[in-house]
Amino acid sequence: MPRVTNPMSAIGRRTMAILCAAFAALWAGHAAAQGAAKVDAAYPSRPIRLIVAFPPGGGADLTARTVGQKMAESLGQPVLVENRPGANGIVGAEAVLKSPPDGYTMLLIDRGALGINPSLYKKLPYDPTKDFAYVGIVTSAPYVLAIDGKLPARTLAEFVQLPQAKPGSLNYGSFGTGSMAHLNIEALKARLGVDLVHIPYKGVGPAVQAVAAGESAVTIGAPPALLGFVRDGRMRALAIGSAKRSPLMPDVPTLAEAGGGEDTLVPTYFAFLLPAGTPRPIVDRLNAEMKRAVSAPEVAERLNKAGLETTGGSPEALAELVQRDIPRFQKLAKDIGIQPE
């Protein structure tokens, strides 16, 4: 005798399955929300390691130690700075990427490591757009364009006339091939229509010293790196690549004021990052603490005296800037013939 199937039982089973799936989804969402709240409330419960991808003593190190110490006060846990310099920030970045995405290992890195390195290395061991959770830009460091004090030029316009009259007769010092100084001055050359010969040095200090000694005609550097040489006449500051004049050099015009364009000599920045996958409540907590720290008068004063401008930006603003920087610097590197290693 054939078996009789009850159509209502099939419908009932399907209905029950749908209800169970819906309940499971609601429970998962509730559990996730509870987990996020728990992470936010418990964090941090132990010291935070802050890896600085550059040596002690520079703007990156000062930013990390000054802001990290202030953040520790409100976080209730120490922020331990650890310098991991090497390979344009790659060494420090790799150390952070190997760490758990739990908010207890943070990275301080610069604009070059995020925006320029993709143009310099064929096999960069990280993807700046995918391998990190951005906390935000902490400080920015505008560059001053400065020349040999013995050159007969008092302004940017007067300096431009020298290489225009004798193309290739003057050289400029950078911090190395592919550095912010290299790409910035090449961009400025193109905008002003001048021919300057590139001489790469091993860092900011040697490039500045070379101009002060008359070995190179021009370079860029942060105000504190140039101030002593400008005051004693060995160097002459022509313009600063910032929206406003520096309190350390109030007589030096902005690049826009000097006729070099608003976005030709771009500043570097120092930013906090975390490994990708770090829970958003932790990212938000660190961003809020970073903003609170840089808004403290004593923190801002100390950083400003070193030529650093406090920023306290959002994760989204940093992400957008990196997305714009990578193709911008790739084009510039290609135009000046830099071949990725």
* CA gyration radius, the chain: 26
Choose which CATH entry (3.40.50.2300, 2.60.40.1080, 3.20.20.140, 3.40.190.150) describes domain 48-141+268-335.
3.40.190.150
CB 246, CB 252: distance < 8 Å:
yes
| pLDDT value for 40 | 56
| Terminal alpha carbon distance of the chain | 80
CB atoms inside a 10 Å sphere around CB 101? 17
Specify the domain boundaries for CATH 3.40.190.10 within the chain: 144-258
CB 268, CB 141: distance < 8 Å:
yes
Query: Which alpha helices (DSSP H) does 232-314 contain, by range?
Result: 255-258, 280-294, 297-305
Give the strand order in the sheet containing 309-310: 79-83, 48-52, 105-110, 268-275, 132-141, 309-310
Length of the chain: 341
d(CA 202, CA 175): 6
Peptide bond preceding 7: is omega within 30 degrees of 0, i.e. cis? no
Residue 236 CA neighbour count, 13 Å, CB half: 15
> Is 200 strand, coil or helix?
strand
Q: What are phi and psi of 197, to 5 degrees?
A: -90, 130
Each residue's pLDDT tens digit, 38-48: 445 789 999 99
CB 241, CB 184: distance < 8 Å:
yes
**144-258: CATH homologous superfamily?**
Periplasmic binding protein-like II (3.40.190.10)
Each residue's pLDDT tens digit, 84-139: 999 999 999 999 999 999 999 999 999 999 999 999 999 999 999 999 999 999 99
Each residue's pLDDT tens digit, 47-56: 999 999 998 9
Specify the domain boundaries for CATH 3.40.190.150 within the chain: 48-141+268-335
Residue 12: pLDDT over 50: no
